Copies of this chain bind each other. A is one copy, B any other.
Amino acid sequence: MTEENNDPYYAVIFTSIISEETEGYAEMADKMVEIAREVDGFMGIDSAREEQGITISYWKNMEAISKWKNDSQHLMAQKLGKEKWYKHYSVRIAKVLKEYEFNKM
């Protein structure tokens, strides 16, 4: 089955390489997802990590993304991330134009 959805929404694509210093990282990452879930306009999140971590969160509008980005606990996490956890990260904000999915029946 292939389903299509063409309503526009937004994706925040976060790719990262973490440093050797990982103390507190997993807890903070979980906490940031909790915070995201509380923001009106949050739609969902996909996440996987091998060498590189990829987290994609989905949002109804840019206002919701802005609210999440500027949450006080998230700002603190961003600061700690730069100081301690991340060697590298990229943030891409993208508008989803088209989507389709396949589910094995």
**A interface residue numbers (CB < 8 A to B):** 11, 13, 15, 19, 46-54, 56, 82, 86-104
Contact = CB atoms under 8 A, between A and B. Distances in A.
A39 B95 CA distance: 23
Q: How many copies of the shown chain assemble into the complex?
A: 2
A99 B92 contact: yes
B88 A92 contact: no
A17 to B, nearest CB: 9
A103 B88 contact: yes
B11 A94 contact: yes
6 contacts: A46-B54, A48-B53, A48-B54, A86-B104, A88-B101, A93-B97
Nearest to A98: B93
A18 B48 CA distance: 14
